[in-house]
Structure 1
Amino acid sequence: MTKQEFLQRYKDEKLNIGDEYLMVLDAITDEPLVLGCVYNQGKWKVFETRERGGHFVMKEMDNESEAFVFFYEIVLSQHKIQSN
């Protein structure tokens, strides 16, 4: 799925990653508690930041669709945690 398709699905399914988490889709950041998927240095990178800052890349992919399918699964998992 593309970035726009992901955003539409996120909105349509009313997914919630929690009040403490932010979702970032434009640049890698070291802000605390971020889930993100960005195009950076020729690769799509799905990343997370820790509570005290600093990021780590969970997965790098060449393909936007693969990256957003993987990111959707991460977001859906976080949504399920928040829903319980």
Structure 2
Amino acid sequence: MSKNEFLKKLKAKNLNTGEYIIVVDYLTEEPLVMGCTQESGVWKIYETKERGGHFIIKELTDEHEAFDYFYQLLLSRNNYLTQNNYSVT
């Protein structure tokens, strides 16, 4: 899916991401972020640590593959948090 399709789907599904926020326009060092951004023609799916700093989960050259992968990652996290009755209030 494209970035725009991803954003629409994410909004419609209202996935539980726990304490994490989702960022898709840039790479950040802010704590507790899951993101997908493009740098030098490469889409990078990343996560940041609780005290800042990031690590790359996966790099892909195709936007559709990157956002499909990122969505599946978030869906897995949602399912895990839902099964364990974890919610952020």
TM-score, length-scaled by structure 1: 0.92
Identity among equivalent positions (%) equals 49
- Gaps (5+ residues) in structure 1? none
What letter matches 2:16 in structure 1?
Answer: N
- 2: CA distance, partners of 1:11 / 1:50: 24
- Gaps (5+ residues) in structure 2? 84-89
Deviations 1:32-54 (A, max 9, x none): 11100001122100000111111
4+ residue stretches of structure 1 with deviation over 3 A? none
Deviations 1:23-79 (A, max 9, x none): 110110111111000011221000001111110111111100000000001111111
| Equivalent residue number for residue 29 of structure 2 | 30
CA RMSD of aligned residues (A): 1.0
Question: Highest CA radius of gyration, 1 or 2?
Answer: 2
Is it true that 1:56 corresponds to 2:68 in the alignment?
no
| Equivalent residue number for residue 66 of structure 2 | 67
